Amino acid sequence: MIFIVLIIFSLVFFVYYKVQQSRVSGPAERRWYSAKGSIAIGIFFISFGINSYLSLGTQVSAYVTVLFVGFGLVNVIFGAKHYKTFLPLARKEIEQRQS
């Protein structure tokens, strides 16, 4: 049950961040929202993979779980790196726009 809720929330956040990414004007702020979306889709892949293994429990679902968890971890790790990189730049863009 927890993985189904996590799947739904991560998809909602992914769509939200992608919409926000298209609305902002600054390039660093756009990349910042893209990094957040990457983290959200990574959490989706991890949750979906684990949920598929727990519900099916077959050898094929174990392979699918390994693929999805691996791909999800790559998205989360690189998304977090990009988030840390673009957060200060996005803050500068927001401050410049407000002043």
Let me know the angle formed at the C-alpha of 7 by 6 and 11, rounded to the nearest 5 degrees: 115
Confidence of residue 99 (pLDDT cuts 50, 70, 90): confident
What is the tens place of the pLDDT at every residue in 59-89?
Answer: 998 999 999 999 999 999 999 999 999 999 9
Question: Could you give the percent of the chain with pLDDT greater than 90?
Answer: 88
Q: Which of 3, 5, 25, 21 is nearest to 79 (CA)?
A: 21
Q: How many domains does the chain have?
A: 1
pLDDT > 90? residue 32: yes
| Cβ-based neighbours of 92, under 8 Å, separated by 6 or more | 28
Show the domain range for 54: 2-98
Query: Is the pTM value of this prediction over 0.75?
Result: yes
